[in-house]
Structure 1
């Protein structure tokens, strides 16, 4: 799969390796920008550019999660909603009363755990039916 399609297309399926490599590329790019931009420009321009980079990085992560969720047998919408549940509570915290902040952090943490386990650790759904079929045949004997 081409890098453009990997990071910009919501259709298709990717395995664990492509998901982790793609996520690492996006994370390392953001990390490099956070280290380089403040040294190249004034602080206000660096903050603006980093905010734009963080917002722009959401789409590649959404594309990776949507493809991985499809590979797991779920809807691509599941992957998109997981990324939204991870990112949005942090932005909503500014507009919510102080009492809601722990709930927003809990939502984000739960979404991280679900995304890590379901998208990052579980095997592809195409592998599971064959294994399940072998188990059913063994139990019927």
Structure 2
């Protein structure tokens, strides 16, 4: 599977090795942006670049999670919702009163645990499992 399909396509399936390799690649890229941007830019521009990179990283993470969820026998929407449950509460934190913050942290923690166990540790569904439907006519060919 090409890198473009790995990070930008929501169709298909990926195994544990590709999921972890892609997730680590996105994490390393995000870490590099967070370290390099302040060294090269002034404070306000560096914050803008980091915020843009964080928002941009949602897409490849959601694509990885969607493909892994399908490989596990579920819906791609499950993987996308897990990524949203992990990332989006942090973005809503400044908009909510302080009483909601523990609830947001609980949501993020639960989503992390579910994602780690279901997407990151559980084996792939068997290829003959009935949960995986046959590809419709005209669908992309598996690589």
TM-score (normalised: structure 2): 0.87
Q: Alignment partner of 1:120: what SS?
A: helix
How far apart, in 2, do the equivalents of 1:95 and 1:40 lie?
A: 30
Superposition deviation, residue 128 in structure 1: 8.9
Q: Alignment partner of 2:121: what SS?
A: coil
Higher Rg of the two aligned structures = 1
- In the TM superposition, structure 1's runs of 4+ consecutive aligned residues that sit over 6 Å from their partners are none
Does 1:121 find its partner at 2:111?
A: no
Gap runs ≥5 in structure 1: 130-141
Q: Which has the higher helix share?
A: 1
How far apart, in 1, do the equivalents of 2:32 and 2:96 lie?
A: 32
Gap runs ≥5 in structure 2: 130-143
How far apart, in 1, do the equivalents of 2:35 and 2:93 lie?
A: 26
In the alignment, which residue of structure 2 is the partner of 1:82?
82
Does 1:15 find its partner at 2:45?
A: no
Higher mean C-alpha displacement, 54-63 vs 33-42: 33-42
In the alignment, which residue of structure 2 is the partner of 1:99?
99
Deviation digits for residues 16-68 of structure 1 (CA, Å, limit 9, x no counterpart): 00000000000000101111111111111111001000000000000000000
How far apart, in 1, do the equivalents of 2:68 and 2:21 lie?
A: 12
How far apart, in 1, do the equivalents of 2:100 and 2:47 lie?
A: 27
